[in-house]
Amino acid sequence: MPSIVTADTQRSPASVRPAATRTWRDPVRGVPSLAGDAAADAHACAIDVSCGGQRLRARWSATKPPGLSIDRRAPSPSAADRGELRVHLRGTLAAGGAKSAAVQFGPHLAARIDADDALARECIARLFDPAGQAGAASVLLADALLRTLALHVFTRYASRAAEPKHRDDGLADGVERRLEAFIDARLDRRLSRTELARLAGYDARAFSFAFRNSFGMTPAQYVIERRLDRACLLIATTARDLADIAISAGFSSQSHLTSTLKKRRGITPLRLRRESARGAETA
């Protein structure tokens, strides 16, 4: 289960204008990518999707001529191994410009996608699949996927954002970030609950309770999911040997990786590599 936060919508110029981007334009109207912030239009909606080092930002407007604006950022080498899925929403999403059929997401809703959220993960996978980024139907497909993802994330995760987070129930935000960075830097090593609890400043029992309230799973489950995220990213984007990937991601062997990936995500490493290669060939 994800961590839900509210945040200021202001971003630094560097974060808003990356060095390298690929932009889609509406083939009919030539709508430029993210022309202005959603806050400038009361009926605008913006969605930001992060998948490891990749990022996609999109914007709709209900008061201006309809058209989807999408900005694709080049993968960031520094974030390439993180593999986590995050979705940020803000503004109001309307159906065909009809103000009566609209959903208000608020100033900022951010969610870390659950490991068992198959619908969100499938939408994100298709959005970042090169095979779906070419052809006359690409913008229509992206529009459908982004609307589905936005509404699903709002329905599944918004109620958690509204729930107050009591100090004694979960980890402080700074502790969460420190644990995430610590775990990601040591996925190929043994990570014990005692070690993580000491880093967070808790005894083992209190740490397990607070960690589960913050991340929606036990420390051991979280480590497994992060290892799978890294392994999947390396399988899909590199030609490294599967046994080597398994060890570098923290699994004891290639068969251990295969059985865990099959059980938790319904796919084998070989099939994931073949499907990734097929998608790259058809792009």
pLDDT tens for 234-259 read: 998 899 999 999 999 999 999 999 99
Return all residues near 161 (Cβ < 8 A) that are at least 6 apart: 4, 5, 6, 109, 111
Question: Does 157 share its domain with 179?
Answer: no
> Any idea what the CATH number is for the domain that residue 220 is in?
1.10.10.60
Look at 60-69, 172-181, 216-225 and tell me which has the smallest mean pLDDT: 60-69
Question: Does 91 share its domain with 130?
Answer: yes
Question: Does 181 share its domain with 93?
Answer: no
| 261 in a structural domain | yes
pTM over 0.85: no
67-80 burial, b at 16+ Cβ within 10 Å, e below that, comes to: bbbbbbbebbeeee
The two tokens of residue 32 are: 């430029």
Q: CB–CB of 221/229 below 8 Å?
A: no
The number of domains in the chain is: 2
| 8 in a structural domain | yes
- Determine the structural domain holding residue 243 and report its residue range: 173-282
Condensed to tens digits (0 to 9), the pLDDT of residues 19-37 reads 333 333 333 233 333 333 3
* pLDDT value at 141 more than 90: no
| 167 in a structural domain | no
Question: Does 19 share its domain with 132?
Answer: yes
Question: Does 72 share its domain with 189?
Answer: no
Question: Does 224 share its domain with 129?
Answer: no
Question: Does 116 share its domain with 148?
Answer: yes
Question: Does 188 share its domain with 155?
Answer: no
| 168 in a structural domain | no
145 vs 184: CA distance, rounded Å: 29
